[in-house]
Every structure is written in C-alpha cells, then in structure tokens.
A = this chain, B = another copy of it.
Amino acid sequence: MQSMQFTLAELAKLIGAELKGDEGRAITGIAPLQTATSSEISFLHNSRYRKYLSSTKAAAVILSPADAKFCQIDALVVRNPYLAFAKAADLFAYRPKHTTGIHPTAIIGENCQIDPTASIGPYCVIGENVTIQKGCIIGAGCIIGNHVSIDENTQLWPRVTLYYGVKIGARVIIHSGVVIGSDGFGLARDNNQWVKIPQIGSVIIHNDVEIGANTTIDRGALGDTVIEEGVKLDNQIQVAHNVHIGAHTAVAGCVGISGSAQIGRHCMIGGGSCIGGHLKIADQVVIAGMAMITNSIEEAGVYASGTGFLKQRDWQKSAVRFRQLDQLARRIKKIEEKTK
C-alpha cells in the first residue's frame, strides 16, 4: 500500500539492537524466516526455530546473543528479540491517514469539548457534554453518548458505541463493533416475571487498554465496571456489570466474565473461558483456554479445566463412565475394605 525503506543501521538504532553486518543495506519490509526475501528482515525469538537460520533468504535477522552465534547472515542482536520485532513491525506498519478536525457529516451535541487536533470521522454521532482530548481518532460511524470523556491519543476504529457517561483513558485502542456501557444484566423477580434493575453505574477504561472487535463491556449496576491500565482484551469478550480487571491483564477471545468478578493484575485468561460472578482471581493467575472458573482463585499459578478431546466413539465411553464416577469410587472403596 505504501512503501517504507530503512537501512540496517537505521533499523538497528530504531529498535535498539546491535548490528552485525552491512550498515547501508536497504530494508523494505519484515517477514517470517521461511518467507522473507533479500530486502526484508526477519526475527528469531524461539531457539526452536534456529534451523531456519541456515536456509532463510532474509537480509538480516533480529535475534538474541545466544542465537546470534548460529547466524551466518547479517544480524540485529538484542536481548528481547520478540519485543524488538514488535518495534520493527511498527516501522513498516501501514497507517491510514486521518484528517484532523470534525468531518462535516459528524453530528456533535451541545457543550462538547473536542480538541482541534482530534479527528472525528464521517457520520459520527456525539452527544452532549462530551470531552475528546488531543490526538484522538474517532472512526466513521461511531456513536458516543452524553457525558462521555476520552483522554488523549485514543483511537476508536469505525462503528464503536460508547453509551452515556463512559470514561476512556489515554492511548486506548478500541476496535470496530465494540459496545461499552450497555446495561448490565440486572433483573429482580416480581411474581414470576422479571423487572429490570436500572444500571446506574458506568464504565471506566484506564490508559493503554486495547479492546478487540465486537467485545462488549456493560456499565455497573451501582458503581462502575473498571478496566485498569494496560489491560488487553481480544475480540468478542463479554465483560458484565461491575467487573474489575487489574492492570496489565491479557484476556483472549470469546471469554465471558460474569458480574462483579474481580480479576487481578498481570493475569492471562485463555480463550473461551468463563469466569463466574462475584469471584476473585488473584494477581498473576494464568487460566487455560475454555476453563470453567466456578470459584475464586487465591494463589498465582496455572489453572485448567475440561477434558481433552477424543475420537467420538472413545469419548462416548468416557462420558458415560463420568456419570458413574461416584459409584465407581464407592466400588473401589468396597473392594479395598474387602481386600485389606
């Protein structure tokens, strides 16, 4: 789409690597070891893939000092190659341009404070008393309710909805289809019918959070739903009312987090997991994919649930026996008593 070019020496400086090789070599892109061409750099962050070093056609490779000694071609040596790769990829990333200012088709309510360096895309609809700080990019077709505030350099991709009163920090990235501040699922019973409990809290998203496509975050019933700084949420995650997610926790796609769950800092939650309501998850907990978390976790560590897959015929046998497990255990006990 556009073409970027750096010399190896420029790249080394920009990603903080030590260059072993041709300073002036022109680099136009980045690619995996197996597919990189002679004008692209590549990277090796896992020594398991060291074998590809001998056959790669890359111009140079980002790698660790330990791997560098196996590298016959130009190298960009760095302590954390994966991080250096992230920095290098950033240099070659395509960035759609955004015109500063408010698109003439955007509809802006009364008493808004929109910084002139912000970009408000076509067909955005922004309510009253909204604050949008400098450098923000609000994509086409975003709908922002009354009393929302968005701190500086935050980007909303197209078609994001923020309900009224939501607060978004600085440098937050929100992908298309995200809904923040929708009503939590609060219901009271009245003679076998459900009465809606108005959700009068809000949602607070702190700085440096990223939120994946079509993820939903409900407003609090009383008090707020809170996503602390540096949290990374993948696509299609459901965050219920009054959930609190601690700083720098990463949550993979399709996770459901039930109401009032409190998740610690620096956790990693695997894709498709569900976390029950009102639970408390400690800091630095790692949860495997598709885990069913039905109790609080008080200790850092790695947790999993479920059963691995089998050929269906075999699975059926195990699944039937699962239903008999208590009875099987009692039979073992009986035999033990008989044979002791």
Contacts and interface: CB of A to CB of B under 8 A. Distances in A.
A240 B271 CA distance: 11
A253 B238 contact: yes
A72 interface: no
Interface stretch (A6-14, A17-25, A187-195): A187-195
A292 B307 contact: yes
B86 A196 contact: yes
Nearest to A256: B254
Given A32-B222, A182-B157, A310 B332 contact: no
Contact of A80 (B123, B176, B188): B188
Contact of A93 (B86, B140, B200): B200
A66 interface: no
Given A223-B32, A258-B271, A197 B310 contact: no
B86 A197 contact: yes
A165 B1 contact: yes
B339 A165 contact: no
A274 B276 contact: no
Contact of A308 (B234, B272, B294): B294
Nearest to A143: B158
A78 B234 CA distance: 44
A62 to B, nearest CB: 12
Interface in A200-223: 200, 210, 212-214, 216, 218, 221-223
B192 A96 contact: no
Interface in A233-278: 234-236, 238, 240, 248, 250, 252-254, 256, 258, 266, 271-272, 274, 276
Given A123-B123, A193-B248, A194-B230, A293 B309 contact: yes
A110 to B, nearest CB: 11
Chain B CB within 10 A, most for which of A30, A159, A288, A328: A159
Contact of A335 (B94, B295, B332): B332
Contacts of A125: 121-123, 140-141, 158
A308 B329 contact: no
B175 A182 contact: yes
A176 B186 CA distance: 17
B307 A303 contact: no
A158 B161 CA distance: 7
The 8 closest A-B pairs by CB, nearest first: A305-B309, A93-B198, A321-B325, A317-B326, A272-B274, A182-B213, A143-B158, A254-B256
5 contacts: A80-B189, A125-B158, A236-B236, A291-B309, A308-B319
